[in-house]
Amino acid sequence: MTRPRIAYVGMTHLGLCSGIAAASKGFETLCFDPNADLVARLESGQLPVVEPDLPELLAANRERLRFSSTPQHLSGCDVVYVAPDIPTDDRGQSDLQSIDSLLKAIERHLKPAAVVVILSQVSPGFTRARLKPGLNLYYQVETLIFGRAVERATQPERIIVGCADPTAPLAAPYRAFLDAFGCPVLPMRLESAELAKISINMCLVASVSVANTLAELCERIGADWDEIAPALKLDRRIGAYSYLSAGLGIAGGNLERDLATVIRLSGETGSDAGVVEAFVRNSRHRRDWALRTIHREILDENPRAVIGVLGLAYKENTHSIKNSPSVALLEHLLPWKVRVYDPVVTPAAVPHLKIQGTSSALEAAQDVDVLIIMTPWPAFRQLDPHDLAKAMCGKLIIDPYRVLRSAAVTAAGLDYITLGVPPYRARSHCDA
Amino acid sequence: MLEHLNPAPEKPRRAVIIGAGGFVGNTITAQLRIDGIDVLPITRREVDLLATDAASRLRQLLRPTDSIVFVSAIAPAKTVEQLILNLRMAEAGCAAIQAVNPYHLLYISSDAVYADDANPVTERSPVAPTTLHGMMHAARELMLKTAMAGPFVALRPTLIYGAADPHSGYGPNRFRRQAAKGEPITIFGEGEEQRDHVLVDDVARLAARILCRRSRGALNAVTGASVSFSDIARMVAGHFKPSAEVRPVPRPGPRPHLLHRFFDITDCLKAFPDFTFTPLAEGLARTHRAAMETRS
């Protein structure tokens, strides 16, 4: 059998990274998006997303990749992945209109035997409701992680496939493509696969919620969560890759969507989702840790304080600010003067916040009373606390993700507050 | 969570305080006047909310452009009779409010509306009172919210203290009065229970801000700092020369199920970022000075 031709519809973060990954496995890959401007930028090598190794992977596989906004080009493809962004509202509810529109728009351009695979995350029941004679439709679980998208797309642990009939063999071109990834392929009924995606995320949320709950306790009883978490990871029942880093709640939007979906489905079916509601409460509580901390430590006593904030992106190595803890914090610091630096995101991305952008981390720290590191960009790890101490007029670093080393910060005469441990106070204050 | 209908603070045309003769109502009235707001204080002298003609008398005093603070209550409501009386007072208020349809309604409620085990308490904690007092406030919130066509807001203070507080419940007010009389300050057991206490002036300042922003929703009037009764007793004792004695006494009953109560004040930080609560030590000192001035 000749190698199947693959297509990705929707040049989203997911669609683009997955498409380039498919080409890296040796398949001719069409990257389609109805947005001709976006396609033109991609064609010229401009990537709209920030991901480690993605530019290199694109360059190495450029000859097998074709970018197009012409739907007729899909007629040459054997397996067509559909991967638009699924927008969510403030309550985490998905708007599935965009994927329906896209499915409708491409359907008539597909070859008769083409396999269509929904890759965007949809609610259980969505795919089966779109089955119809002549449409070879599957759902495949995506496990994209912002900042690790290339690794996730090229080296999946397993591939979960939802099928109309899981006892029937997968369509041959689809099977041939999946086999190229060299990992277990798990066919299951559509509803199981759709819920499997949510189940994965629920397990991650459970781990994160446990970590956040216990990290807060650590802050109050003198324990250090960073001493505890590695011990847990050595427990085989918990696992080396478990999500046990303390953080500022659950961010990014996708996990929140799944929480909302489980609560909604439980409401509709009468199952108990009390524990999921507790996850939501805990996430909301921890998200505002930095706001409470800065009020307690500085703002309640110094109404004229100047604040430095490092990071706007919702996590490192991404340009996304959706549900960013940093942006959420800044929205509640409007009465104060704030200086901000992010290596990728500019203040123009958040025009509703009256923040002063700066060109470097040190410039953001200049003359501030407190510096908060809200995104753990690798570059921030290189900051020398002595330089920060010289630049700042205040003495406090709030660093939820432990980007800096507490000992180095306190040795520089600065107080240091992070998640999961009581505040570290400076060894010696520089009163100059 | 509060939602501000006024994007920027705007003085109400007139604030009407129903229950202005009480400890909290009087303080709110004073604060609003300091802020330059036209205030109509209504005490029991003007309208007795338990009188048969209360609703019509109140209605005659109200205007559709008024921002109303409903603070009148028989508190704490410890008996069924007190509960019913409070509901009757609210019933009269509801009838007048429904007839007038005022611009804004602020109800001074209580943190007693929350379940005992809601730690840390937030504005999203379930309203599940376990006392008649809490049930009274929960019911009145619902009554007034239902009667009010426009924006309604409930301000839910925790334990309030201040020099003019007529109550002598267990806490700062009683401790101060005991010490002022030359008696030892008595704490139950070791006085280890931690509670949040809010200065009445802070409740009044929050009420004023809520009126100016025409906020709706619910907000807890709490400082976010819970302190043990033992520590509070020692702070109060230290205001007297010589320092008053703090004496542990056996608890009058079993140790309360709710040993500590903590609040998460994030909603307040978001609603009023530049609002700061008076630290307990400062508030107690201020209360002591005010009480001494009143005595002299």
pLDDT tens-digit readout, A127-162: 999 999 989 999 999 988 888 999 999 999 999 999
Q: Which two tokens stand for residue A219?
A: 């802050």
Amino acid letter for position B100: V
Chain A residues inside the 8 Å CB shell of B266: 285, 288, 291-292
CA gap A230, A211 in Å, rounded: 12
pLDDT grade, residue A60 (50/70/90)?
very high
Task: Tell me whether residues B269 and A285 touch, CB distance under 8 A.
Answer: no
pLDDT value at position B256?
66
Q: Which residue, chain included where needed, has tokens 């921890």?
A: A286
Please list the residues that pair with B105 across neighbouring strands.
B68, B152
Chain B residue with Cα closest to A299: B274
Spatial contact of A283 and A328, defined as CB atoms under 8 Å apart = no
Pairing of strands B39-42, B14-18: parallel
Give the sheet arrangement for strand B226-228, strand by strand: B159-161, B194-199, B226-228
Q: What is the residue-wise DSSP string for A289-317?
A: HHHHHHIIIIITT-TT-EEEEE--SSSTT
**pLDDT 10s digits, B90-136:** 999 999 999 999 999 999 999 999 998 888 999 999 999 999 999 99
Amino acid in position A220: R
Residue type, A226: D
Q: Do A303 and B124 touch (CB under 8 A)?
A: no
Residues of B in contact with A285 (CB under 8 A): 120, 122, 264, 266
Q: Are strands A136-140 and A159-163 parallel, antiparallel or unpaired?
A: antiparallel
Looking at CA atoms only, how far is residue B270 from chain A in angstroms?
6
Cβ separation of B273 and A281 shorter than 8 Å? no
Cα separation, A219 vs A419, in Å, equals: 7
User: Which residue in chain A has the smallest CA separation from B265?
Assistant: A292
Residue A353, pLDDT > 90, answer no
Element (H, E) at B105: strand B104-108
* A-B C-beta contacts closer than 8 Å: 33
Which chain B residue lies closest to A295 (C-alpha atoms)? B269
Cβ contact, residue pair A291, B122, below 8 Å: no
Which residues of chain A approach chain B closer than 8 Å at the C-beta? 281, 285, 288, 291-292, 295-296, 299-301, 303, 332-336
**Set of chain A residues whose Cβ sits within 8 Å of the Cβ of B122:** 285
In this predicted structure, what is the pLDDT of residue A430? 39
Condensed to tens digits (0 to 9), the pLDDT of residues B240-288 reads: 999 999 999 998 877 766 688 999 999 999 999 999 999 999 999 999 9
In a 3-state reduction of DSSP, which class is residue B276?
coil
Instruction: Please report, rounded to a whole number, the percentage of residues in chain A having pLDDT higher than 90.
Output: 81
- Whether residue B266 and residue A285 make contact (CB cut-off 8 A), yes or no, is yes
Q: Enter the tokens of residue B135.
A: 């049930």
CA within 13 Å, CB half, A313: 19
Cβ burial A4-40 (10 Å sphere, 16+ → b, else e): bbbbbbbbbbbbbbbbbbbbbbebbbbbbbbeeebbe
Residues B167-171: contacts with CB within 8 Å, 24+ apart? B167/B23, B167/B75, B167/B76, B169/B76, B170/B229, B171/B195, B171/B197, B171/B229, B171/B232
Q: Which two tokens stand for residue A39?
A: 């396609």
Between CA B36 and CA B67 the distance in angstroms is 14
A20 DSSP β-pair partners: none
pLDDT value at residue B116: 83
Q: Whole-angstrom distance between the N-terminal and C-terminal Cα of chain A?
A: 76
**Residue A432 in this model has a pLDDT that exceeds 60:** no
Cβ contact B208:B32 at 8 Å:
yes
Q: What is the mean pLDDT of chain B?
A: 95
Q: Give the pLDDT band (50/70/90) at residue B296.
A: low
Q: Return the structure tokens found at B265.
A: 């004040």
Q: How many angstroms separate the most distant Cα atoms in chain B? A: 57
* Contact at CB, B274 and A335, closer than 8 angstroms: yes
Report pLDDT digits (tens) over A76-111: 999 999 999 888 777 767 788 889 989 998 999 999
Are the Cβ atoms of B269 and A292 closer than 8 angstroms? yes
Partners of A296 on chain B (C-beta within 8 Å) are 224
Is B266–A300 a contact, with Cβ atoms under 8 angstroms apart? no
* Residue among A281, A291, A336 whose CB faces B269 most closely: A291
- The CA-CA-CA angle for residues B75, B77, B79, to 5°, reads 145
Chain B: nearest CA to A337, how far in angstroms?
13
**Backbone phi, then psi, for A371, in 5-degree steps?**
-120, 130
Other Cβ atoms within 10 Å of B36 Cβ, number: 7
| Cβ-Cβ contacts under 8 Å, A213 against chain B | none
| Chain B CB contacts of A299 below 8 Å | 273, 276
For CA atoms A19, A24, A25, A27, give the dihedral sign: positive
Q: What pTM was computed for the model?
A: 0.84
Q: Is the pLDDT of residue B166 over 80?
A: yes
B150 touches chain A (CB under 8 A): no
Which residues in chain B touch residue A281, judged by CB atoms under 8 angstroms apart? 124
| 3-class DSSP state of A159 | strand
Give tens-digit pLDDT for A154-203. 999 999 999 999 999 999 999 999 999 999 999 999 999 999 999 999 99
Q: If you measure CA to CA, which chain B residue comes closest to A303?
A: B274
With beta carbons under 8 A apart, name residues in chain A contacting B124.
281
A335 → closest Cβ in B122, B273, B277: B273
**pLDDT tens by residue, A381-415:** 999 999 999 999 999 999 999 999 999 999 999 99
CA distance A288 to chain B (A): 7
On the question of pLDDT at A287 being above 60, the answer is yes
**What is the side-by-side order of every strand in the sheet holding A415-417?**
A356-357, A337-341, A306-310, A370-373, A396-398, A415-417
Find chain A residues with C-beta within 8 A of B276's C-beta: 299-301, 303
3-state SS of A19-85?
HHHHHHCCCCEEEECCCHHHHHHHHCCCCCCCCCCHHHHHHHCHHHEEEECCHHHHHHCCEEEECCC
Structure tokens at A216: 């807060």
| Residue whose C-alpha is closest to residue A292's, from A322, A328, A316, A320 | A328
Report CA-CA distances (Å) from A246 to A226, A281, B218. Answer: 8, 16, 30
What is the ipTM metric for this complex?
0.84
Taking only the tens place, the pLDDT of each residue in A311-344 is: 999 888 888 888 788 999 999 999 999 999 999 9
Token representation of residue B74 = 């028989």
Per the CB < 8 A criterion, the answer to whether A314 and A325 are in contact is yes
pLDDT tens column, A240-273: 999 999 999 887 677 888 999 999 999 999 999 9
Residue A429's pLDDT band (cuts 50, 70, 90): very low
Number of H helices, E strands in chain A: 16, 14
pLDDT digits over B44-83, tens only?
Answer: 999 999 999 999 999 999 999 999 999 999 989 999 999 9
Q: Are A127 and A137 in contact (CB under 8 A)?
A: yes
Give contacts of B 210-229 with A, CB under 8 A. 224
* B245 vs A: CB within 8 A: no
Say yes or no to pLDDT of A1 above 70.
no
B22-33 mean pLDDT: 97
DSSP per residue, B46-71: T--TTSTTHHHHHHHH--TTEEEEE-
- Percent residues over pLDDT 70 in chain B: 98
Whether the upstream peptide bond of residue A335 has omega within 30° of 0, thus cis, is no
